[in-house]
Structure 1
Amino acid sequence: MSFSPINAIKNFQVAERFMRYVQVDTESDPNSTSFPSTEKQKNLSRILVEELLEIGVADAHLDEYGYVYATIPSNTDKQVPVICFCSHVDTSPDCSGKNVKPLVHADYQGQDLVLPDDPAVIIKFAEHPDLQNQIGHDIITASGTTLLGADDKAGVAEIMDAARILMQHPEIKHGAIKILFTPDEEIGQGVNHVDIKKLGADFGYTMDGEKAGTIEDETFSADGVRVVIQGVSVHPGFAKGKLVSALKIAAEVIQALPKDRLSPETTAKKEGFVHPNHISGGVDKAEIDFIIRDHNTAKLTDHENELKSIVEQVVAQYPGATFRFDVHEQYRNMKEVLDNYPQIMEIGLEAIQRVGLPAERRSIRGGTDGSRLSFMGLPCPNVFAGGHAFHGKLEWVSRQDMEKAVLTILHIVNIWEERA
């Protein structure tokens, strides 16, 4: 007979944990050359290790790269695959994560949420469709001047509370469980130094999704492209017929990109895009960084060839100018791996249903640590953590949805044990 973890839960601590964790500044830095990119990320990781040790997870530790590794031992005689749960501690550099002041809007009734530290920042019911599912819930937001950090401290808090419950309730049968907390996910470097052999897991789940009840098994495939344009620099007082501005060429390249397709603002669902996200330089040399995205990995080459053709056509109009076109792989669609292990998604979907939620399989217009972990030998879909409106001041999460995520973790490990 299967065990329902709901029967064992008397008091969740996930919301309280979450509100503590978001007050620790863990913003990552895309311009840093160190790993982790900011030393302050380890401040939260140290707290997590201390709390894991306090609840009896004896091997919890922080390594030199800022990863937290921990093991909850098996409590069954069955041979069960080792399951890892992973979340990232860093917050996005797109919005300040310093001095976050979490606020609880108890018993939400559909009103717009005006954030007190900047009354111009309003989470509007009409603009956030998922708020329709939150009537009666306790909504947690920031105060209006920072992001909240639900991406992904909600996932961190959920894994931590599930760990506490598992240590306190041995009647919930499970195999060995691995916990992994990573830095620098928001800048695409979250698993650069993960020791997969040391982690020792067979399958994983990142707790980094959005809407309650969702589990994602498909991400973008992603490349980065850097276009380096070399101009001809001449004193502007003597420049006639000689000067070739790399900066103007770069601007013209961006202007020549398609206006009605192939951009984030004109695509949806499974459509890919070419997105210039940084430009720098001057007359002599200019650089444009692009991110190239598509769910179909083969289409990345098509998008890159189209971009290269645009650059060639623009640069050809400027005698003396040259360019370099550098492509580097970022991550690949985890579905290419996960389709070989259908039981991972089957168990994830069943766990969500046992919590009492309608289970929804989704694709992500983005990537997770799970994208790269899957190709490193740890097949790893992405489970909801409950946060919404990531990376900005309008971010919010529901206490009840985080509690459902905790229960989903408990059901996942219990179902793996049942099926063993």
Structure 2
Amino acid sequence: MGDIAERLVRYCAIASPSSPDGAGAVPSTPSQHAMAALLGRELEELGAEDVSVDAHAYVTAHWPASPGCEGLPRLGLCAHLDTAWQAVGDPVRPRVVRYGGGPLVMGEVDGETVAVTPEEEPVLLGLAGTDVVVTDGTSLLGGDDKAGIAEIMAYLERLAADPAIPHPPLAVAFVPDEEVGHGASLLDIDAWGAAWAFTLDTGPLGEVTLETFNACDAFVEARGRAVHTGWAKGVLVNACEALAAFHGLLPAAERPEHTEGREGFYHLVSMEGECERARAHYIVRDHDRAGFERRRDVMAAACDHVNRAMGAGTLSVSFRDTYRNMGEEVGRHPELLEAAFGAFRDVGVEPSAVPMRGGTDGAQLTFRGLPCPNLSAGYHLAHSRREFVPVREMEVMVDVLEHLGRRLGSPPGG
């Protein structure tokens, strides 16, 4: 296997954040095309078949089965090429550091040291003396999900070097705009040809995601009435005040900073406006379907309450579904779960099933008829300037992919 750390550094150096303000375009940012083009070239250089980089920055390819496995169901491997937009991301200056213990220091920004301690991330206690990929502290790294991409590419590199390693036919997809809820929605599943798939897009080594949130966006629009403040009594309606009143009606204890595990939340993503017009964007999450619907009802009731207090038509709320809890479907495919858990155990890692506090491309693919659990990619503290990726975890994940392929690629009677 080549230097997977160098591969991740190369990928992370291409800033490719998606944007919620992309005006409906796919991809939502032009920079994702650069990442897609690089991956297309590298797939061709490795010897992949049917390599395609389309106008929406979807990268797809096929890989032939090992001898004797040609008739087995095709296994899909998927990761997303965009990075989070919530933190600064351009330019990205990734680098490999040898971690010596204590605080893992990314760099210094405006006189402040950007670092993470073992108390915050206990995984560091076992990483002293090993290599870790970080940035200089001025941006996020983008290991979410470029670590997953690097691992899939390194696995293909291994197969190119030794085609006899048992594996079924493979389908590979790198998709744009996962961080803004679009992800694999335009992937042509029939042309891709996978019978089942795995995404590599969750954090610490050994995690297997069988559940995700149910998720939607909520958009709250406020209309006010402006007038000179000297004559405002009984006339002025402040749209910003209406939004503030609405937000105050949502349960404060049910925000992401106060929740964990399977607990859902309301998260205020952004708010902007002035007296006559204001708007807010929320994301709403819950693992439980009934609880998810209740949250939408709570927001609608809060909107009605403000309208009764401030005037009919002051507020309106609309919802846009983004993904569902794939746990409703993934459990129907025990052969996939057995292969995933077994592949981790094959390399000496005890896997753990975790309810993901987010969504994946696998959630979309699963509800489009392609069962797609999610495997660890090895990134930590994603969506922050303190993000880091242990090189050892990436190397182990390539071994996991090999054993996953071996388990799903045994010839009939083999």
Given the two structures, how large is their TM-score scaled by the length of structure 2?
0.94
Name the counterpart of 2:260: 268
Contact 1:76–1:175, Cα closer than 8 Å, also in 2? no
Name the counterpart of 1:318: 310
Q: Partners of 1:173 and 1:159 in 2: how far apart?
A: 16
Equivalent residue for 1:176, pick from 169, 174, 180: 169
1:240 shift after superposition: 2.5
1:235 shift after superposition: 4.0
Q: Partners of 2:288 and 2:250 in 1: how far apart?
A: 21
Contact 2:141–2:388, Cα closer than 8 Å, also in 1? yes
SS in 1 for 2:107: coil
Q: Partners of 2:370 and 2:313 in 1: how far apart?
A: 46
Q: Partners of 2:332 and 2:29 in 1: how far apart?
A: 36
Q: What amino acid sits opposite 2:86 in the alignment? A: D
1:284 shift after superposition: 2.2
Is the aligned partner of 1:31 residue 2:21?
A: yes
Q: What amino acid sits opposite 1:22 in the alignment? A: C
Is the aligned partner of 1:111 residue 2:128?
A: no
Residues paired across the two proteins, number: 408
1:70 shift after superposition: 0.5
Return closer, same or farther for 1:320/1:349 CA change in 2, 3 Å cut-off.
Answer: closer
Q: What amino acid sits opposite 1:36 in the alignment? A: P
1:31 shift after superposition: 0.3
Q: What amino acid sits opposite 1:54 in the alignment? A: E
Gapped regions of structure 2 (runs ≥ 5): none
Contact 2:51–2:62, Cα closer than 8 Å, also in 1? yes
Is the aligned partner of 1:188 residue 2:188?
A: no
Contact 1:49–1:62, Cα closer than 8 Å, also in 2? yes
Name the counterpart of 1:219: 212
Is the aligned partner of 1:229 residue 2:222?
A: yes
After superposition, the C-alpha distances for 1:194-243 in whole angstroms (9 at most, x for unaligned) are 11111111111111111111111110011222222233333444433211
1:103 shift after superposition: 2.3
Return closer, same or farther for 1:321/1:346 CA change in 2, 3 Å cut-off.
Answer: same
1:346 shift after superposition: 1.1
Q: Partners of 2:202 and 2:312 in 1: how far apart?
A: 49
Contact 1:12–1:403, Cα closer than 8 Å, also in 2? no
Gapped regions of structure 1 (runs ≥ 5): 1-10
Q: What amino acid sits opposite 2:144 in the alignment? A: D
Given the two structures, how large is their TM-score scaled by the length of structure 1?
0.93
Q: Partners of 1:97 and 1:419 in 2: how far apart?
A: 45
Contact 2:151–2:394, Cα closer than 8 Å, also in 1? yes
1:158 shift after superposition: 0.5
Equivalent residue for 1:149, pick from 142, 145, 164: 142
Identity of aligned residues (%): 35
Q: Partners of 1:244 and 1:341 in 2: how far apart?
A: 55
Contact 2:40–2:53, Cα closer than 8 Å, also in 1? yes
Name the counterpart of 1:121: 114
Equivalent residue for 1:17, pick from 7, 19, 23: 7
Name the counterpart of 1:403: 395
Per mean C-alpha deviation after superposition, the further-off stretch among 388-397 and 311-320 is 311-320
Name the counterpart of 1:5: none
1:46 shift after superposition: 1.1
Name the counterpart of 2:334: 342
SS in 2 for 1:186: helix
After superposition, the C-alpha distances for 1:216-271 in whole angstroms (9 at most, x for unaligned) are 11100112222222333334444332111121111111123222x22212211111
Name the counterpart of 2:33: 42
Contact 2:79–2:201, Cα closer than 8 Å, also in 1? yes
1:83 shift after superposition: 0.7
Per mean C-alpha deviation after superposition, the further-off stretch among 110-119 and 123-132 is 110-119
After superposition, the C-alpha distances for 1:341-378 in whole angstroms (9 at most, x for unaligned) are 11111101100111111111111011111111111122
Contact 2:365–2:371, Cα closer than 8 Å, also in 1? yes
Equivalent residue for 1:210, pick from 203, 210, 218: 203
Q: What amino acid sits opposite 1:375 in the alignment? A: F
After superposition, the C-alpha distances for 1:105-127 in whole angstroms (9 at most, x for unaligned) are 22x34221223343511122221
1:321 shift after superposition: 4.7
After superposition, the C-alpha distances for 1:147-181 in whole angstroms (9 at most, x for unaligned) are 11111111111111101111221221111100000
Stretches of 4+ aligned residues off by more than 6 angstroms = none
Is the aligned partner of 1:198 residue 2:191?
A: yes
Contact 1:212–1:385, Cα closer than 8 Å, also in 2? yes
